[in-house]
Structure 1
Amino acid sequence: MKISILFVFIFSSFLTIISQSKDMDKDLSYGLNFKSHEVNKDDRTSLDLLPDAFLKLSKGYTLGFDLKLTNSNHTYGYIFRIIANDTTSLDMTSYLGNNRINLILNGIHNTKASSEYKYERKRLEDKWVKVKIEVRTGSVTFSIDGDEIQIDTPDNPSGISIIEKIYFGANRHKFFYTSDVPPMSVKDIVIKDEKGKIIRRWDMGRHDTGVVYDETNGYRATVSNGIWEIDRHTNWNKDMSLITKNYNPQIATDSINNRVFVATNDSLYIMHLKNKSVQRIKVNSGRPFQGASSYLIYDYKADRLISYSISQPELILYDFGSDTWSGSPVDMSLYIQHHNRFIDPYTNQLVIFGGYGLYRYSAALSTYNPGTREWESNDLIGQLTPRYLSSMGYLGDGQILVFGGYGSKTGLQEASSYNIYDLQLIDTRNKTTEELGMLTRMQEPYVFGNSMIINVAENKFYTLANRSDVYKSSIRLMEVNMDDFSYRFLSDSIPYNFQDTESFCDMFRYKNSGIYAVILQRTEEGAFEIGIYSLLYPPLSQPDILPVYNAGGAFSNSPVTYIVIGLLAVVVLLIISLIMRFGYNKQNIHPEAVGNRDSFPEQLQVQPAHYYKDKKQSTISLLGGFQIFDRKGNDITGYFTPVIRQMFLMCLLEYIATGKGITSERLDEQFWFDMDKNKATNNRNVNIRKLRLLLQETGDVAFQKDNSYWHVSIGKDTFCDYVTVMNLLHEISGSDRMNKATVEKIIDIASAGLLLPNIDKRWADKYQSGYSDLLINNLLKAAKSMGIKDDFRLLVKLADVILIHDSIDEDSVQIKCRSLYKLGQKGLSKQCYDKFCLDYKSILNEEPQLKYDSIILSE
């Protein structure tokens, strides 16, 4: 096994040339988008797969690719033309407006054979579908989205032995030229011989200017006027803009519904990024606080806008129902420009950090308690440097990361103010800070956008950065690695007139699809422009998308090169087979993310079935958010750094699911993939030691290794809500009769919330969705069982738990509405249904079929 690993290390540079493109692009958005009739014929897109040499395939071949058709004013055009012997053309045309695709075998002046494929528009429009063209003796067969059609060809298509050209879109062939291009996108183009061997493959991901390389042998294909989808990971696209003459417009972002709010003294503008529309609302009464930067934030839980000032005891709230602000500022003095802010999702408290005003920089942490309607302020000047123009990201459990800014150690503007590049971890509940590291060797002075995006799994974050020493500045996306505090600038830049009292920039991530930058700046004409720019996630730099074949020039096509590659491929295959045979890198052994009763580890089955909501000592909470209390009842969650927390959770959840845990290799791949083996091992060992020390303080909890797998074992004196509820769910899932007491315990525990709602990572998805599915299925089953189906109060609680996981689950809505109605709470029953309708319309953009009358009349 060590020899196999050594081979991998020796040949890694060669393997990068062969496989890196495919490996890097699999999680990215890629493909070639074609310019169609919306531009003049000279500017339409052409893809030439064989610009340098023909293909001789005397016994037939297969062309396969992924196709996406989009709607436009004119949708007719040539998807591809395969030209053979300068006399024959095999064409595929699309006409989305007429719901048809045609495959035609043409001569120079006549049509030899053709076939038509009719389809429903919604089946193909704006969706990737598989297309395959198979040329054999006497026939041509093509399939689209699984539907297969054959063309009988009297002229024997196997005679098309020499393929001179394969064009997608427009071309200028002397006999078969065309400028008719349908609005389409293509990717993953593959040509196979009659035996199914791949002889050409272009994924249409990595590319250089006007060229993309075949992944098998490095043959180039050329592109004219193409739009590369992968470029959206590197280039900002200006999606929308709004110009207002009102001074200091206030900005808030809604990352849940993909909206940006702009509030002026008399209007509210809602910029809907999904359909790129702007909605203007004339405010009926009231107005928000207005000052430099923004004093406005969106509360997604209550669906309201909050305008605030730490010098004022009352918040000013915007009601979308009445289009009114709850008041107007009495005092417009605002002293904390360019501060950071967030709403703690668990306490619902508004938290403000830092800022600038009256020639002073602030290190104050101010919290607004909605219960007491009072601000509580704690000055952290003894723990960190006062600052403004810094970037903030929320980690969960009241913890935030604050990066950089501009300020001075005393807070006085005249006392040696300077640019700050440290990263601080602030516990907003315990009012403590910890410096995690600092950027060095900054070539120019930078300040940062209001928010950052944190990639916990890779231990890095993204923030907007702009030079602070010039007015004609530009905004760039910065990536910071929190392992060694190296950094790089990604993507292109956004022009930015930087005048801190008249400019503001923020950023948010919408689901897993993209990053949005919100830029406020004063125009040369004196108005204020709010621009929205988008970038696909994950963001890349320009070198990331260049072809790997061009490390020192294009891939050589000499026979020696092919022999070397062939030998390397054989070695690689042998290594991979050995690795797979001896189980060197076993992952995802068990397909179930939640395991089953038999696989549930014995070390975790001893968890107590009872649940103490007020229990603090030796408690691990995963439902509703990650939180850990030690033996004395102290909250030690803040001591779990992002990497330690991820390691602990990965090993615990996988152990619950499979009874095994996580290998060291998988941990290294997850957290230290960009390090060499020795450095990754050292980092892993350091973090494991830290984790073990923390778990010793927690209670009878151990992080240990058995049979090459790291896992977490929990003893009887330590309570974990997720372990307990999983144990109970497995207990009832295999039983035909539901134990009411067990179901009540499950509901009691599960009502705490979702599994790790603040862990927005791909590795956690399967555990989160697996838990939700297992819980919902068992609770719906319990709702029909004897002893429970007539207990309406319990059914309301049961339905509430399901609705936490799926707010538009029709079964649980029916259970809750009907139970409330039976309990005589008819108003609450109708409110429940109305909320369901609103959520349903918001999520699915259509009215639900489920009617209230049918719910309350059903039994």
Structure 2
Amino acid sequence: MNKFLLLSLLTAFHCATAQLNSSGGLNFNTKDVELAHRTSLNLTGSGKLPIGKKFTLSFEMAINNPRSFGYIFRLRANEFTASLLFVQFENKDTSYLQLIINDKKIENKIPLPKRNLTKGNWFPVKLVLDRGKLNCSLSINGGPAANTKVNIKEDSQAELLFGIEWEKEEYGNLDVPKMSVRNIKILGKNDKQVHFWPLNESSGLIARDIQSGNDASVLNPNWLINNHFKFNNIARVGPFKNIIFFMAVPIIYSQAQDNFLFFTKDYYLSYDLKNQTTKKVKFASPLQHPGNIVAYNENKNKFYAYYFGRGLVSEYDEKQKAWSHVDTTGESFQHYYFHNSFINPLNGDLCMINGYGWYTYKNILQKYDFIKKKWIRLETKGDYLVPRRYAAICKKNEAGDYFIFGGEGNYSGRQEEGVKNLNDLYLLSMRDTSIRKIGEIKKMPKDFLPYSSMYYDSLKNQLFMMENSKVEGAKASKRLFCYDLSSDTFEVVSDSLNGRNSFGAPIFYSPRYSEIYAFEKVSISADSFYININSLLFPPMTEKEYNKLQKAELSFSFYNKYGIPAFIVIILILGTIVYYFHYRKKQKAEQPALHSITETIKTSKVNSIFLFGNFQVLDKNGKDITKEFSPKLKQLFLLLLTKSYNHSGRGISTDSLSAYLWPDLNLEQTKNNRNVSISKLRTILAHLGKTEIKIDRNMVELSLDENVYCDYLELCKILNSGDSIKEKIHIIKSILSRGEPFQEISYEWFDGQRVHFTEDAISRLKAAVGKNELDDLSKLALADSILFLDSVNQDGLSLKIKAYIALGDHKLARSSYEHFKREYFRLYAEEYSKPFSDFLN
């Protein structure tokens, strides 16, 4: 008991005094999500706020979408009310902050130029209620105030709410602009601060008042501090159809236009970061090749394109929507696949370096001569640059210096001498075409390959690079890393993206939004896909800082409010409870167990395989062994699993297995690779009970231990049983809610199976509706399950709307429809045409 108390006290005190990251705020979920998931912040959940003679509310806010509309906050004190409304539709170039007093708009309002309303652009807001002067004033950035006369009763107590107001039935109370808020303060007499909510939490439904302990309550929070470590998917662009999945879709970021451009040979898609809209532009004269490199000279606002192995360069004419000098040369000797291209800031030259072609890794620096229409080699001097492909490059400054990092290759450049991952860093100077080796980056993950570009922070002398998968296989981890050139440290500064990236996508930094952007492909079929745009707030947080923040969260709040004495009291109480339950354990064990009449979902923590959401495997002791699966072993495992547990259940032949996994090797090499891989996989699967890989008469079959749980097989079992799914619908929804099926698996052989599984699962779920055996809540769960599989499935939407209507919740029915429309537009870049009223008939 004494040991328990001492350990708990020391741990609590350490966590309580941990310092939190100053980058914080609360992002409000609004019309981009369903009504039930929108955000509300109630500052008076622990008690109302006295108005007194003078009451000042100040906070910082950012408008994340200038096209949104709604209430920022509402204040009520007896009969007095004050609301702040963001209005965007009255003027093309200007939005307004409209103060509403006792349900009447005041004459003066605060103008906000729309060009300044961008995500990450914070500005201070101040509301002053002066009961002595009978005045209310609103101001931003310390500028001129909008004033009006008010009459507030003495001893008034105020309620204060930001975001959606759930308790009011009027539809207007559900309108909230797409905004972020932080550093909310209440000042009283003599402008003395009496409350302060920094909103720097990272989890939970409580916002701490670090001034006086009057903690606020939050519904559906989206804590901004997490966005300094966790990537946020802000958009999905596409679909891109009839394009081979490993071919690049070049992505360009125009800082001046504030948009991303995604190029194919026939058109480009433009995504506007500010307005969050997508448009498609078809080329009057398309490019010849399906795979191209596109470079952008931002100073001249010119786009250049050429075959991604190196070829003639075409210039794009925006007015004519056409490319000039379209390259028709095709394959030729001396290609430079997977090279790095850039625009020399000193003279605007289009340059390239590195690459691979005809069994040779390259390190040649070249520039394009637009007069002679050919690439010219530039001689380099200084240190030897090891020939490579898959390297990353970024501009250091406007003086023509470039960092080049990593990739794979070897010293001679000859492929027959083998290939290795490179962790070296170089500086290329275009002033004299010299190369200087900076050194080797230490303590890097095994088989690390970067995305094709990096970002350099000159203020902190840091390089940021994304981890990438190898082209021939999937890799579960795609994180952002930071290399500090001053301290020679290399650290993880983000969580992992979910999808598979295999196309050398760049990363970009936006100084306007203080965000880093990374991209990933999401396969639809063998030749069709979407591209996800993901953002991370800058500066990012290291993994160590983020984990420390999570541990500090709960204890800091309590410590700040009550101090160490209260901690000691609580720990004593907890110790007493532990002792009590230890004393009662024997008596409790002898009591008969109560059995619920409702079947519950067992969340397996041991012997488990998860294929929905992130691929994950837990062994018989509950240890996560996912990282033991290399890309090739994961592919082998999934082949055996799906082929052994299909309708035939016979496994897969050794010839078919080799054709899937080692198509380019000769017979002897294939056999050796197959035997080694199966042996390694057997070693891993030995941790899953009696799971075996059997080989009989050239057939390879996977046999799982009967105690092994696999979410994919469990769902197939339920759907294929022919029994009623009424009692299983909650299990189905639980499985599907984990994420998209096989969301990080993008093998060409698997795409058809993925599509077949999704279509078959949706068909069986829809068939259950026709049996008229489900109540309305079960229909709602079934509709969610269908939409988990296909987010724009019209039958799923129809079922969801009708279920909500039957349950008497018209608001959530309408909200589901609006959410579906936004998702449809995001995926297809066109409006969903079917009106809401059609679903009611």
1:93 deviation in Å? 5.6
1:401 deviation in Å? 0.8
Q: Which residue does the alignment assign to 1:475?
A: 478
Q: Which range is displaced more, 208-217 or 116-125?
A: 116-125
Which residue of 243, 247, 251 maps to 1:246?
A: 243
From the superposition, tell whether residues 59 and 72 of structure 1 become closer, same or farther in structure 2 (CA, over 3 Å): closer
> In the TM superposition, what whole-angstrom CA distance separates every residue of 1:194-215 from its partner, at most 9, and x where no partner exists?
1211121123345433333334
> In the TM superposition, what whole-angstrom CA distance separates every residue of 1:443-498 from its partner, at most 9, and x where no partner exists?
43221111111012211011111243841545322111112331222233333435
**Residue 464 of structure 2 contacts residue 480 of structure 2 at CA under 8 Å; is this kept in 1?**
yes
1:75 deviation in Å? 4.7
Q: Which residue does the alignment assign to 1:193?
A: 188
Which residue of 303, 306, 321 maps to 2:304?
A: 306
1:62 and 2:48 correspond: no
From the superposition, tell whether residues 441 and 139 of structure 1 become closer, same or farther in structure 2 (CA, over 3 Å): same
Alpha-carbon distance in 1 for matches of 2:317, 2:362: 31
**Residue 470 of structure 1 contacts residue 498 of structure 1 at CA under 8 Å; is this kept in 2?**
no
From the superposition, tell whether residues 63 and 281 of structure 1 become closer, same or farther in structure 2 (CA, over 3 Å): closer
Relative to the length of structure 2, the TM-score reads: 0.54
One-letter amino acid of the structure 1 residue matched with residue 58 of structure 2: G
Alpha-carbon distance in 2 for matches of 1:370, 1:271: 30
Secondary structure at the counterpart of residue 445 of structure 1: coil
From the superposition, tell whether residues 270 and 433 of structure 1 become closer, same or farther in structure 2 (CA, over 3 Å): same
Q: Which residue does the alignment assign to 1:223?
A: 218
Q: Which residue does the alignment assign to 1:213?
A: 208
> In the TM superposition, what whole-angstrom CA distance separates every residue of 1:765-786 from its partner, at most 9, and x where no partner exists?
xxxxxxxxxxxxxxxxxxxxxx
1:224 deviation in Å? 0.9
Alpha-carbon distance in 1 for matches of 2:507, 2:338: 14
**Residue 65 of structure 1 contacts residue 132 of structure 1 at CA under 8 Å; is this kept in 2?**
no
One-letter amino acid of the structure 1 residue matched with residue 359 of structure 2: Y
Alpha-carbon distance in 1 for matches of 2:390, 2:100: 59
1:142 deviation in Å? 3.9
From the superposition, tell whether residues 67 and 410 of structure 1 become closer, same or farther in structure 2 (CA, over 3 Å): closer
One-letter amino acid of the structure 1 residue matched with residue 57 of structure 2: L
1:538 deviation in Å? 3.0
> In the TM superposition, what whole-angstrom CA distance separates every residue of 1:624-681 from its partner, at most 9, and x where no partner exists?
xxxxxxxxxxxxxxxxxxxxxxxxxxxxxxxxxxxxxxxxxxxxxxxxxxxxxxxxxx
Q: Percent identity?
A: 21
**Residue 41 of structure 2 contacts residue 161 of structure 2 at CA under 8 Å; is this kept in 1?**
yes
One-letter amino acid of the structure 2 residue matched with residue 324 of structure 1: W
Q: Which range is displaced more, 113-122 or 213-222?
A: 113-122
Secondary structure at the counterpart of residue 465 of structure 1: strand
**Residue 474 of structure 1 contacts residue 493 of structure 1 at CA under 8 Å; is this kept in 2?**
yes
Q: Which residue does the alignment assign to 1:390?
A: 391
One-letter amino acid of the structure 1 residue matched with residue 207 of structure 2: V
Alpha-carbon distance in 2 for matches of 1:201, 1:413: 63
Q: Which residue does the alignment assign to 2:360?
A: 360
Q: Which residue does the alignment assign to 1:237?
A: 233
Alpha-carbon distance in 1 for matches of 2:455, 2:274: 20
1:69 deviation in Å? 6.9
Secondary structure at the counterpart of residue 295 of structure 1: strand
Q: Which residue does the alignment assign to 1:94?
A: 85
Q: Which residue does the alignment assign to 1:255?
A: 254
**Residue 81 of structure 1 contacts residue 91 of structure 1 at CA under 8 Å; is this kept in 2?**
yes
**Residue 253 of structure 2 contacts residue 259 of structure 2 at CA under 8 Å; is this kept in 1?**
yes
From the superposition, tell whether residues 365 and 195 of structure 1 become closer, same or farther in structure 2 (CA, over 3 Å): same
Which residue of 455, 458, 462 maps to 2:457?
A: 455
Which consecutive residues of structure 2, in runs of 5 or more, have no partner in the other structure? 1-12, 91-95, 118-122, 567-841
**Residue 456 of structure 2 contacts residue 464 of structure 2 at CA under 8 Å; is this kept in 1?**
yes
> In the TM superposition, what whole-angstrom CA distance separates every residue of 1:371-429 from its partner, at most 9, and x where no partner exists?
66541155889713222111111224332111111222222334242221121112345
1:103 deviation in Å? 5.1
Q: Which residue does the alignment assign to 1:608?
A: none
Alpha-carbon distance in 1 for matches of 2:69, 2:308: 56
**Residue 206 of structure 1 contacts residue 212 of structure 1 at CA under 8 Å; is this kept in 2?**
yes
From the superposition, tell whether residues 57 and 345 of structure 1 become closer, same or farther in structure 2 (CA, over 3 Å): closer
Q: How does 1:60-139 map to 2 (within 5 A)?
A: 61-66=55-60, 75=69, 77=71, 79-82=73-76, 90-92=81-83, 94=85, 96=87, 101=98, 116-119=105-108, 122-123=111-112, 128=123, 130-134=125-129, 136=131, 139=134
Q: Which residue does the alignment assign to 2:162?
A: 168
One-letter amino acid of the structure 2 residue matched with residue 212 of structure 1: A
Secondary structure at the counterpart of residue 506 of structure 1: coil
Alpha-carbon distance in 2 for matches of 1:451, 1:444: 20
From the superposition, tell whether residues 436 and 58 of structure 1 become closer, same or farther in structure 2 (CA, over 3 Å): same
From the superposition, tell whether residues 158 and 444 of structure 1 become closer, same or farther in structure 2 (CA, over 3 Å): farther
Q: Which residue does the alignment assign to 1:347?
A: 347
Q: Which residue does the alignment assign to 1:325?
A: 324
**Residue 474 of structure 1 contacts residue 497 of structure 1 at CA under 8 Å; is this kept in 2?**
no
Which consecutive residues of structure 1, in runs of 5 or more, have no partner in the other structure? 1-12, 105-112, 564-859
**Residue 520 of structure 2 contacts residue 531 of structure 2 at CA under 8 Å; is this kept in 1?**
yes
Q: How does 1:437-452 map to 2 (within 5 A)?
A: 437-452=439-454
Which residue of 474, 477, 496 maps to 1:493?
A: 496
Secondary structure at the counterpart of residue 554 of structure 1: helix
One-letter amino acid of the structure 2 residue matched with residue 347 of structure 1: N
Q: Which residue does the alignment assign to 1:554?
A: 557
From the superposition, tell whether residues 63 and 286 of structure 1 become closer, same or farther in structure 2 (CA, over 3 Å): closer
Alpha-carbon distance in 2 for matches of 1:558, 1:330: 72
1:133 deviation in Å? 3.5
From the superposition, tell whether residues 120 and 426 of structure 1 become closer, same or farther in structure 2 (CA, over 3 Å): same
**Residue 47 of structure 1 contacts residue 221 of structure 1 at CA under 8 Å; is this kept in 2?**
yes
Secondary structure at the counterpart of residue 176 of structure 2: coil
**Residue 501 of structure 2 contacts residue 521 of structure 2 at CA under 8 Å; is this kept in 1?**
no
From the superposition, tell whether residues 522 and 355 of structure 1 become closer, same or farther in structure 2 (CA, over 3 Å): farther
Alpha-carbon distance in 1 for matches of 2:442, 2:487: 11
1:311 deviation in Å? 8.3
Alpha-carbon distance in 2 for matches of 1:459, 1:551: 34
From the superposition, tell whether residues 79 and 398 of structure 1 become closer, same or farther in structure 2 (CA, over 3 Å): closer
From the superposition, tell whether residues 529 and 335 of structure 1 become closer, same or farther in structure 2 (CA, over 3 Å): farther
Alpha-carbon distance in 2 for matches of 1:239, 1:318: 26
Q: Which residue does the alignment assign to 1:653?
A: none
Q: Which residue does the alignment assign to 2:753?
A: none
From the superposition, tell whether residues 380 and 524 of structure 1 become closer, same or farther in structure 2 (CA, over 3 Å): farther
Alpha-carbon distance in 2 for matches of 1:521, 1:114: 48
Alpha-carbon distance in 1 for matches of 2:318, 2:26: 42
1:120 deviation in Å? 5.6
Relative to the length of structure 1, the TM-score reads: 0.53
From the superposition, tell whether residues 521 and 561 of structure 1 become closer, same or farther in structure 2 (CA, over 3 Å): closer
One-letter amino acid of the structure 2 residue matched with residue 485 of structure 1: D
> In the TM superposition, what whole-angstrom CA distance separates every residue of 1:741-786 from its partner, at most 9, and x where no partner exists?
xxxxxxxxxxxxxxxxxxxxxxxxxxxxxxxxxxxxxxxxxxxxxx
1:74 deviation in Å? 9.0
Alpha-carbon distance in 2 for matches of 1:74, 1:280: 23
From the superposition, tell whether residues 424 and 56 of structure 1 become closer, same or farther in structure 2 (CA, over 3 Å): same
One-letter amino acid of the structure 1 residue matched with residue 385 of structure 2: L
More RCO (CA 8 Å, sep 6+): 2
1:147 deviation in Å? 2.9
Q: Which residue does the alignment assign to 2:527?
A: 526
Secondary structure at the counterpart of residue 154 of structure 2: helix
1:527 deviation in Å? 1.8
From the superposition, tell whether residues 488 and 144 of structure 1 become closer, same or farther in structure 2 (CA, over 3 Å): same
